[in-house]
Chains A and B, each alone.
Chain A
C-alpha cells in the first residue's frame, strides 16, 4: 500500500500543482519517481524531522499542499510538538505520511514499532487521522487528501497487503466502510489488520459483520447509533496500544451516545490491540501480532 499511495500521489501531482513531497531521508526505491518528475516540488529534508515538519509549515503557508514522509515514529512522535503547535494550531496544509504502522517493521525492533501514534495524533485538534486497510483505501485516501485543506496523518502499513475492497472506496472522516454485512457481532477495524480479521472470521465460519474505518475522526453518529441498536457486541481491532487508540475512540463515541440518550443501552465492546507493552524481541509482523494478541483468537473462543 506504500507504493500505491506514493504512486497515487505522483499521478495526482500532475493535475494538482500544489502538491509538495518532503522526506526525512527515507523512501529509497519508492520516492524516486516523484522526485524525478517534480524536482521543484520535492525535498529530502535529511534526518531532521523537527525541521522537516517546520519547513512543511513554511511551504504550506505559501500555498503548497505538503506531504512529509518517513518511517513510523519519526515524522510523528519525534516531532510531536511541531505537529501540535506549528501544523495543527496554525491549521497548516500539511499531511504526514508514516510507513510501517504497527509491527510492519517487526524485526527492526521497538524503535520501528509504531504503536502509539493513533492515540497521540487523534488527540490534537484539526488533525485528521487515516489508516488504510488495503491498497484501494490507500488510493482513496490519497485522492481525498489532495483536496483536503488542513492537517492529516496517513498511517500506512508497508507492502504486500491483499486487495480487500473491489475498488476505490468513498472515504470520509468518521465513516465506516462496510466490508460485509452480518449478525450478532460487528467487527470494526482500522488499518491493515482487516485482512487477518476477515481470514479468522471465515475460518471460524462466523456470520459477523465487518467494517473498516480508514479515517478516524468524529464518527458518523447515525451509523454508530445504528450499530449499537443492531449488535449486542462490537469488537474493535487495531495494531496499536489499547490505551487511546481506535477502540478507545469507538468506546468514547458509544459512551457519549448513551450519555446523550441517543442509544438505550451500550453494546458490549471488546477491544483487540496491544495490551500496554513493548515487544523487545524480533519477529515478523504476523508473529508479533500473535505475541501481542492482535488477533481475534480469544474473541472467537468466547463468543
Chain B
C-alpha cells in the first residue's frame, strides 16, 4: 500500500495538537513560542501535501500549496523575531518570562 494524502493530513494533525498543547500548557513564554512554531510547521506539511496530491490543479502547473508554505515561513520568521523582542523587553522590565505573571493588561 502506498502513501495517501490522509497519511500526511493525520501527521499534520498530530503535530498541530502537540504544538497546541505546548502553546496552551506552558508557562515559559519562549516555550509557548516553540509550540506556535510546531503548529505552523504542521500547517506547512499539510499545505505541501495538498500541493503534491492535487489533481484538480496539477502539481506541475501551479504549486499553489508550496507558495502558501513559503509565505507562512516568511510570516513565521517575522513573528518569531517580534515575539522574542517582546519577551526580552518584558524580561528587562519585570525580570520574568512566566506568562502567568505578565498580567498588567488584565483587569
A binds B: no
Spell out A's residues near B (CB within 8 Å): none
